[in-house]
Structure 1
Amino acid sequence: MPGKNRLEFLFLNLGHFYDHLFILIYAAVAALALPAAFHMSYAELIVYATPGFIAFGAFALPAGWLADRWSRRGMMIIFFVGIGISGVLTGFAGTPLEIAVGLFFIGVFAAIYHPVGITMVVEARPVKTGAALAINGVWGNMGVASAAIIAGVLIDVSGWRTAFMVPGVAAIATGLAYVVLCREPRDGAMKQASAVKPAHSVLDKHVLVTIFTIIALTTTLGSFIFQSMTFALPKILEERLSGVFDSATAIGGSAFAVFAIASMAQILIGHLVDRHSIRTVFAFVAGLQVPAYMLAVGLSGLPVLVGAVAFMLLIFGQIPINDALLSRITTPQYRSRVYAIKFVLSFSVAAAAIPTVALLHETTGFDGMFVAMAAVAAVIFLCVLALPRVSVMTAPATSPAT
């Protein structure tokens, strides 16, 4: 990868980090600080995250359309600066409703990253796309991991408002650095990506529709699991590590450790996807989730950390699979919009995931949520088994045409 592409790849990775960091700051703040600040329960507070998650999904499609029609680099600049300003302003909120408004605007700008940034990653690495997506995915997962510990430390040191403000200032600074250091578009990468023969040209229409349908189903269900478990994990650890860790920093650090360890699964899965059948790898990852959730039922104390690492390894490991498959069956000129549709499905379901977490926490506790996630994972496994056995499924990605 040329030097300029490596620098832009770094900024794209930072963007993925910020994207997931900002979306989950409120999850940690709601679990660790806001119940005392606003005299409300956790279940009451997390409902205010819903507008942000709705925006996260709803604005992905227009962001992808704008990127294809205007400028992907321009959209990334808007992403960095917009999400940073929104984070700073959310830190000034005085009521839960004002926080919800701030989270909505965070969601609007966060929606830009996946249809735009992921497309730019794929085009920078048209060969061995799985590995590139895996590396980028680890950065996103480290954003998930860091949300809890950054929020926890800032809550203990200076209060919950700085948990939004400090990352906001950092994102704005990163956006300005991107403007200065990444001035030129990656025309060479675009040409290289365009030279790769699109896999869908050799697929029967019925087979292609089947693949897209299964991608849509597994994306929706997988996102439901991802959003539910990443949002709930700080609260799971706070409840089940009670008496082991007591401070917000310690709970946040525990969540960070779980997410950080689990994020490494994407590196392994990315390499496996480039070398082996996507269908086989996908079935393996989805199938193992069912016993992982069931084994987590009833765990408390330090064993819950082991259980959390197990199911988060599999949740994170599943992320690059659909993206790699889509990269094989879409052409560059439509790729942002196709990814946008995927992420509309992916993140819109988060609007249902958050109330579901609240309902299950109030009625059955987190054991009931683990059982529900096992059932959803079982459906994903069955969907993967229905994937057709065609070359795009069973063979590693091909090299660019010469």
Structure 2
Amino acid sequence: MNPATLSRRTVIFVNIAHALDHFVLLIYPTAVLAIAAELGLDYATLIALATGAFVAFGLFALPSGWVAERLGRRNMLGIFYLGCAAACAGLSTAASPTAFAGWLLLLGIFSAIYHPIGSAMLVTHASRLGRDLGWNGVWGNLGAAAASGVTALIAVTLGWRLAFLLPALVCAVAGAAFLWMVRSDGVPGSRSRNDAPALPVRRPGLLMILFGLAILAGGITFNVTTIALPKIIDERLGLTLPLLLTGSLATVVFVFGALTQLAVGRLIDRISLPAIFVGIVALAPLGLGIAGAGAGFTLLLGLTLAMVSIYGQVVITDAMVARYVPPALRTRAFAIRYFLGFTVSGFALPLIALLHGQGGFSVVLGATALVGGVILACAVPMLMFARHPGAPEQPRQQAA
């Protein structure tokens, strides 16, 4: 296959996988509103069943990167597609808390494959790093955005079981198409368009520590906000809304995050990464604080600002790995990056349940705003140490 054709197809299927990855993980947080009514269990009990899924989502990112070096990235992405299909199909048959917990755990294991593998594949095959990372972020965010609205629509019209089964069919078809149309990782030993040497930095050890802390804190804010969003709107908007409208409002908030990722991707090819990082990160504690103190339109405004920040950060941190980590180490670096971010974020579920029990979503949002402040405290010194004196701000082939 022509290398250009292979790269083009790979980027397309990596983007589709990103959308499906976030979609399938966020089916349950919306479907649980319908499941609770059918099973007669409260929200806190049911939402806690997904803890294993979100812990596995981070925990298994690390071995996924290791296995990919032996099985190949293309084969691992195929396993992601088909594994998520199987787990979603299993969830459509669940009838007890134990069954839900088990299938959700399996979904978390398979969905963990995407980020370390897909990110490394995208960086290898991207024609322009910032632009392609931005579009990849849009696909992922649109998957997250669609999950609330689509799940609510299917649950209301066809039942919550089909809200899992139909996405399972989509994953299976997409996986089969990927394995048929993308036959390899690429030409062995070829030099990627994004295989420029890593940019030099001052105080690399300190920069690594700050980056790690920002990833850990970002994982908590990401999952607390995205998982709880439908319930926050349902409980704090100040209106009694049907499930379909609640899911649709959550989708609108997510869409703003998608648009932000596209804009941030464009900026990455033009402006200092640490400078963009500081600006985007500052919006998280501001938005979460506004949402925690407000209701109605003020609540939606705060949640939108928070979502803009949270999803913008994802694109920037991926670009930092691509720019500051040597090409030979990127798959492992992406694995560690997502291992840190998603493993700690798995504890967002019991954290939501605990804080919600203490004072509702005002407490949940207030505590999450404080965690967002930790990211900002890490981002500011990163601005000082991320660039080595006299070093070019961007690799030559990316500056165009």
TM-score normalised by the chain length of structure 1: 0.93
Instruction: Tell me what 2:39 maps to.
Output: 38
Judged with a 3 Å threshold, the aligned counterparts in structure 2 of structure 1 residues 24 and 190 are, in CA distance, closer, same or farther, namely farther
Q: Which residue of 2 aligns with 1:12?
A: 14
* Residues 1:209 and 2:242 aligned together: no
Which shifted more, 224-233 or 7-16?
7-16
Partner of 1:66: 67
In the alignment, which residue of structure 1 is the partner of 2:232? 236
Query: Structure 1 residues 310 and 195, CA, compared in 2 at 3 Å: closer, same or farther?
Result: closer
Structure 1 residue 309: Cα displacement: 1.4
Quote how far apart the aligned CAs of 1:78 are: 0.5
Q: Is the counterpart of residue 227 in structure 1 residue 223 in structure 2? A: yes
Q: Give SS of 1:276's match.
A: coil
Q: CA deviation at 1:306?
A: 2.5
Aligned residues of 1:275 and 1:396 also touching (Cα < 8 A):
no
Instruction: Map Cα deviations across residues 237-284 of structure 1 (whole Å, 9 max, x no partner).
Output: 11123535x222111111111101221111111222221122211111
Whole-Å Cα distance in 1 between the matches of residues 192 and 397 of structure 2? Answer: 7
Please list the CA deviations of residues 347-387 of structure 1 after superposition, one character each: whole Å capped at 9, or x if unmatched. Answer: 11122111111111111111112211221111111111222
List aligned pairs for 1:2-401, cutoff 5 A.
2-30=4-32, 32-125=33-126, 128-187=128-187, 190-193=190-193, 195-199=195-199, 202-203=200-201, 207-241=203-237, 243=239, 246-387=241-382, 388-391=384-387, 396-400=393-397
Partner SS state of residue 264, structure 1: helix
Letter in 2 for 1:20: H
- Cα distance between partner residues in 1 of 2:97 and 2:209: 38
3-state SS of paired residue (2:160) = coil
SS where residue 75 of structure 1 aligns?
Answer: helix
Q: Report the secondary structure of 1:134's partner residue.
A: helix
Question: Secondary structure of 2:295's partner?
Answer: coil
Q: SS in structure 2 opposite 1:397?
A: coil
- The 3 A distance-change label for structure 1 pair 390 and 96 is closer
Contact kept? 1:123, 1:189, Cα under 8 Å: no
* Distance in 1 (alpha carbons) for counterparts of 2:22 and 2:376: 26
> How well do the aligned residues superpose, as a CA RMSD in angstroms?
2.1
Distance 1:229 1:73, change over 3 A: same
Quote how far apart the aligned CAs of 1:226 are. Answer: 0.4
- 1:72 Cα shift? 0.3
Deviates more, 1:208-217 or 1:109-118: 208-217
- Tell me if structure 2 keeps the 8 A contact 1:22–1:87: yes
Change in CA separation of 1:392 and 1:138 when aligned onto 2, cut-off 3 Å? farther
Secondary structure of the 1:198 match is: coil
**Partners of 2:294 and 2:167 in 1: CA distance:** 33
Identify if the C-alpha distance between structure 1 residues 242 and 34 changes in structure 2 by more than 3 Å, giving closer, same or farther: farther
Q: Percent identity?
A: 32
Question: How far did residue 301 of structure 1 move?
Answer: 2.7
The 1:392–1:187 alpha-carbon spacing in structure 2 relative to 1, beyond 3 Å, is farther
- C-alpha deviations, 1:198-231, integer Å up to 9, x for none? 32xx446xx2222221111101101100000000
Distance 1:98 1:109 in 2: 17
Counterpart CA distance in 1 for 2:61 and 2:341 is 10
Distance 2:279 2:328 in 1: 32
C-alpha distance after superposition, 1:148-172 (max 9, x if no partner): 1111011111111111111011100
Amino acid in structure 1 at the alignment position of 2:167: P
What is the rounded CA distance, in whole Å, between the counterparts of 1:215 and 1:249 in structure 2?
39
Alignment coverage as a number of residue pairs: 394
d(CA) in 1 for partners of 2:319, 2:195: 17
Quote the offset at 1:298 in angstroms: 3.4
Which segment is superposed worse, 299-308 or 321-330? 299-308
TM-score by length of 2: 0.93
SS at match of 1:192: coil
2:49 corresponds to which letter in structure 1?
Y
Measured after TM superposition, the shift of residue 3 of structure 1 is 3.5
**Corresponding residue SS for 2:349:** helix
For 2:264 and 2:343, the matched residues in 1 are separated by 25
Q: What letter matches 1:251 in structure 2? A: T
One-letter amino acid of the counterpart of residue 387, structure 2:
S
Per-residue CA shift, 1:109-166, capped at 9, x if unaligned? 00100000000011112x6422221110111111111111111011111111111111
Change (3 A) 1:383 1:89: same
CA contact (8 A) 1:275 1:395 kept: no
1:16-37 deviation line (CA, Å, top 9, x unaligned)? 011111111111112x212212
| CA contact 1:195–1:400 (8 Å) conserved in 2 | no
Distance in 2 (alpha carbons) for counterparts of 1:109 and 1:297: 34
Hey, what's the Cα distance between the residues in 2 that align with 1:287 and 1:186?
39
